[in-house]
Amino acid sequence: MKALVLEEYNKLVYKDVPDPEPEKNEVLVKVMACGICGSDIHGLDGSTGRRIPPMIMGHEASGIITKTGSDVKDWKEGDRVTFDSTVYPLDDWFTLEGMYNLSDNREVLGVSPGTYKRDGAFAEYVIIPQHILYKIPENVSFEQAAMTEAVAVALHSINISGIKPGDKCVVVGAGMIGIFIIKLLKISGASKIIVIDISSKRLEQAKNSGAGYTFLSTDENLDEKIMAITNNRGADISFEAVGKSETVNLSIDILRKGGKAVLVGNISQKVDFPLQKVVTRELKVLGSCAIRGEYEIVLELLETGKISVDDQISVVVPLSEGALWFGRLYRREIDLNKVILKP
Ligand SMILES: [Zn+2]
């Protein structure tokens, strides 16, 4: 088969590789669409240590089952599927406690951090364990289905936030995950959705996605403006979708006493933490990691038109042009939302 192989750091080559064979609990999926994730772009140069070459990246994908292992009973050739990006062990303590996203020895598709290597979906075919497969509804396209992962990451943060109808929420960072958080807040009953970003272009997208109020982070009277929108108390819940000291602190600063900050962004290993503010105002700070069962719900939201992803798909291009598009994204020559590669 053809695959986009990371042969060495900063060197992607579209080439022939051996066809993969499914084990008894796995299926072979003919890839129809696979999105380029920010973590793939960062992984390209070795800076994250999570894409050790040679390997095939790609974990936001969809396709058609073309072969099933001998123990696979509930899936058949021709099924249109997407899949979780986490391959989790079924007998792990955390999995059995309902927290498979936190299971020990979990692996991520298209990731190679040294302790394991799992080839991903920037290829004609990919091997997928049956327990992470999800059926794509008939009216959802392969490209839309490839966006499920990003929406599911956003939905997980909403789910753990415990949001109630009428809550006043702030989203810090209007990148793709931030945009999906905004869209999901709208259908979760948030009364006020306030969005803060450094880019007016992103804020425009936030407005179109359901934000009621948008502010540049450089706005001088930001605190006062947010207080005015929240009955002079501050926000009930904030969602941080960047992961830097400034933005984490901002997401804590604008909370009311007893409020909750849900941290999704994690590009920094450490940040400054406003300890006294958190303690004396009894704030709750929650980490949100990946996805825990949100796939099925996202696919239903797509099927019923409750959430749209088309506005976040910038281009769909052939997998053979993968190196070119990766290069453009890496060098930040283009400011795009999702680039989807099609084998
Ligand atoms: Zn991703």
Burial pattern 52-79, b for ≥16 Cβ within 10 A else e, equals bbebbbbbbbbbbbebbbeebeebeeeb
Residue with tokens 């123990």: 71
- Cα 304 to ligand 1 centre (Å): 24
pLDDT per residue as tens digits for the range 50-74:
999 999 999 999 999 999 999 999 9
- Whole-number Å distance, alpha carbon 110 to ligand 1 midpoint, is 10
User: Counting Cβ atoms within 10 Å, is residue 269 exposed (0-12), middle (13-18) or buried (19+)?
Assistant: exposed
CA of residue 59 to ligand 1 center, whole Å:
6
DSSP for 156-222, please give it: HHHHHHT--TT-EEEEE--SHHHHHHHHHHHHHT-SEEEEEES-HHHHHHHHHTT-SEEEETT-TTH
| DSSP H stretches of helix in the chain | 38-43, 93-96, 142-145, 148-161, 176-188, 200-208, 222-229, 245-253, 275-280, 295-303, 322-330
What is the whole-number distance in angstroms between the Cα of residue 206 and the centre of ligand 1? Answer: 20
Q: What distance in angstroms lies between residue 276's CA and the mean position of ligand 1's atoms?
A: 34
Low-confidence ranges of the chain (pLDDT < 70): none
Distance 237 CA to ligand 1 centre (A): 24
pLDDT score at 78? 98
pLDDT, residue 334, reads 84
Q: Please count the CA atoms within 13 angstroms of the CA of 273 that sit on its side-chain side.
A: 11
Q: Per residue in 199-209, pLDDT tens?
A: 999 999 999 99
Distance (angstroms) between ligand 1 centre and the Cα of 147 equals 9
pLDDT reported for residue 179 = 98
Tokens 């948008």, located at residue: 214
SS3 of 88, please? coil
Q: Residue 108: what pLDDT? A: 95
The answer to whether 258 and 283 have CB atoms below 8 angstroms apart is yes
177 alpha carbon to ligand 1 midpoint, in Å? 10
Q: 88 near 108, Cβ under 8 Å? A: no
The predicted pLDDT at position 267 comes to: 84
Tell me the CA–centroid distance for residue 282 and ligand 1, in Å.
33
Collect all residues with Cβ–Cβ distance below 8 Å to 27 and sequence separation of at least 6: 65, 67, 68, 69, 72, 75, 81, 127, 128, 130, 133
pLDDT of residue 335: 81
